[in-house]
């Protein structure tokens, strides 16, 4: 079995869950950036210098999408290194890997795990929407629809794939593995935390501004990966001027949950700047639960539903700093402790162990249906 992902697999939480689950049953080869993850039979490492995962510009302009795709550096390398017919089945992560996976002609087929809704990934950028969205539409219609089965991270994305391209993904959330932890006591100052990618379209300035506006006994730490160094510098500069706010270095995923356990509330107020943000159900929500934190989210449909159903904490009235500041001003130690206790009670149900079985059923079904 091949698990194919154009990401650094050792740091990709979702792909690592696949590796850990399937390597106990199958002989797993991985192909992706960075060194081999633990437990695999073999690993094909894509060199870091193959170039960005973007389609070849001139061919995109000419709408010669086939040429644009096969000239992407990671695509070209993987195609050259992976032998046709060498694998019985392929688990292909995200849209960009699916044509390569299909080209290997695995006799039991390809399962596509779609981490995002790729055709609307950066739709807030008019140039991207005009030039790149049609390319992703083409990939989905021509290749992704030909997989034997599909999964994605949430209901909104699954419905859009079905509506636009006719295939119906099952849902495997970005739940974190169960952690054997207890909620920590709440101190005199409520400790807030946000962890994740530093992306401008997430409008992370809102979190810092809310702490400044609230002017109450809370502290906020942000653990951010440097996806956009310029924006990260802006956030650091702003945080340095606001009492109680600190931008910290990111920590490895294997230590993240233990690090988060020192806090009280995980915060993710994500404005719907694009379709994927609107329907986000991100790993950080489940990380906060495993860390036994209460949660503050904006009125994002998928996240708010989880917070309300499991009584995990608070949903702001809108995505503004003012709305978040209003919540921060009303926090009480007893309510925060109740939210943390609710996260503790939900930790088993919202863990990865309940989700990876869905991948297992999908891959098992490839074998049961037999070779094409």
What pLDDT score does 372 carry?
62
- CATH code 3.40.50.2000 region(s) in the chain: 2-172+355-369, 190-346
Give the pair of three-digit tokens for residue 286: 């489940």
What pLDDT score does 355 carry?
93
CA 73 to chain centre: 23
SS3 content of the chain, % helix, strand, coil (to 5): 45, 15, 35
Q: Which residue has the tokens 């073999």?
A: 42
The per-residue pLDDT for range 16-31, each reduced to its tens digit, is 999 999 999 999 999 9
pLDDT at residue 370 tops 80: no
Give the pair of three-digit tokens for residue 263: 């806090």
CA neighbours closer than 13 Å in the CB half-sphere of residue 153: 25
CATH node for 2-172+355-369: 3.40.50.2000
The per-residue pLDDT for range 27-48, each reduced to its tens digit, is 999 999 999 999 999 999 999 9
Q: Which residue has the tokens 């402790």?
A: 337
- Continuous segment of H or E residues that includes residue 155: helix 155-165
- The Cα diameter of the chain in Å comes to 63
Within 8 A by CB and 6+ apart from 335, the residues are none
Q: What is the dihedral of CA 30, 34, 39, 41, to 10 degrees?
A: 40
Q: How far apart are CA 59 and CA 81, in angstroms?
A: 24
Mean pLDDT of 214-226: 96
Mean pLDDT of 194-205: 95
Percentage, residues of the chain above pLDDT 90? 94
Q: Is the dihedral of CA 165, 354, 361, 104 positive or negative?
A: positive
Sheet containing strand 29-33, edge to edge, reads: 42-46, 29-33, 2-8, 90-93, 110-114, 149-152, 170-171
Q: In this structure, are residues 348 and 230 in contact, taking their beta carbons and an 8 Å threshold?
A: no
Q: Cβ–Cβ contacts within 10 Å for residue 333, how many? A: 15
Q: How far apart are CA 211 and CA 157, in angstroms?
A: 32
Within 8 A by CB and 6+ apart from 229, the residues are none
Q: How far apart are CA 265 and CA 220, in angstroms?
A: 9
What pLDDT score does 54 carry?
79
pLDDT at residue 230 tops 70: yes
Q: Cβ–Cβ contacts within 10 Å for residue 278, how many? A: 16
The per-residue pLDDT for range 4-15, each reduced to its tens digit, is 999 999 989 899
What pLDDT score does 55 carry?
78
Q: How far apart are CA 178 and CA 350, in angstroms?
A: 8
Q: Measured between alpha carbons, how far is residue 294 from residues 85, 124, 159, 184, 287 in Å? A: 48, 31, 29, 11, 11
Q: How far apart are CA 117 and CA 168, in angstroms?
A: 13
Q: Which residue has the tokens 């719907």?
A: 272
Mean pLDDT of 193-205: 95
The per-residue pLDDT for range 136-191, each reduced to its tens digit, is 999 999 999 999 999 999 999 999 999 999 999 999 999 999 999 999 999 999 99
Q: Could you say which of 3.40.109.10, 3.10.129.10, 3.40.50.2000, 3.40.50.720 is the CATH number of the domain covering 190-346?
A: 3.40.50.2000
């Amino acid at each position: 079995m091949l698990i194919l992902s154009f990401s650094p697999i050792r740091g990709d939480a979702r792909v690592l869950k696949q590796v850990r689950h399937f390597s106990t049953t199958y002989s797993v080869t991985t192909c992706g950036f960075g060194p081999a993850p633990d437990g695999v039979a073999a690993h094909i490492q894509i060199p870091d210098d193959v170039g960005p995962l973007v389609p070849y510009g001139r061919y995109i302009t000419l709408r010669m999408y086939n040429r644009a795709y096969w000239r992407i550096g990671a695509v070209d390398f993987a195609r050259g290194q992976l032998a046709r017919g060498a694998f019985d089945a392929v688990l292909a992560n995200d849209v960009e890997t699916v044509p390569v996976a299909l080209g290997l002609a695995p006799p039991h087929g390809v399962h596509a795990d779609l981490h995002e809704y790729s055709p609307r990934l950066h739709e807030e950028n008019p140039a991207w929407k005009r030039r790149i969205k049609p390319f992703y539409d083409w990939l989905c219609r021509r290749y992704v629809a030909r997989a034997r089965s599909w999964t994605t991270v949430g209901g909104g994305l699954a419905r859009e794939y079905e509506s636009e391209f006719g295939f119906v993904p099952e849902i495997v959330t970005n739940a974190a593995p169960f952690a054997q932890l207890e909620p920590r006591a709440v101190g005199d100052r409520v400790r807030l935390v946000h962890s994740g990618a530093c992306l401008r379209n997430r409008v992370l300035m809102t979190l810092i501004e809310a702490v400044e506006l609230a002017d109450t006994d809370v502290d906020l730490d942000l653990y951010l990966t440097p996806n956009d160094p310029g924006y990260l510098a802006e956030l650091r500069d702003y945080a340095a001027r606001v009492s109680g706010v600190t931008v910290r270095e990111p920590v490895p995923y294997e230590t993240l949950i233990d690090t988060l356990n020192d806090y009280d509330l995980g915060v993710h107020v994500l404005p719907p700047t694009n379709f994927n943000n609107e329907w986000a159900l991100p790993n950080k929500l489940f990380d906060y639960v495993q860390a036994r934190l209460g949660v503050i989210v904006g009125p994002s449909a998928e996240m708010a539903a989880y917070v309300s159903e499991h009584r995990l904490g608070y949903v702001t009235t809108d995505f503004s700093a003012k709305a978040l500041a209003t919540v921060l001003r009303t926090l009480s130690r007893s309510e925060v402790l109740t939210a943390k206790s609710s996260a503790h009670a939900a930790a088993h149900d919202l863990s990865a162990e309940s989700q990876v079985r869905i991948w297992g059923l999908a891959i098992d079904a490839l074998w049961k249906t037999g070779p094409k």
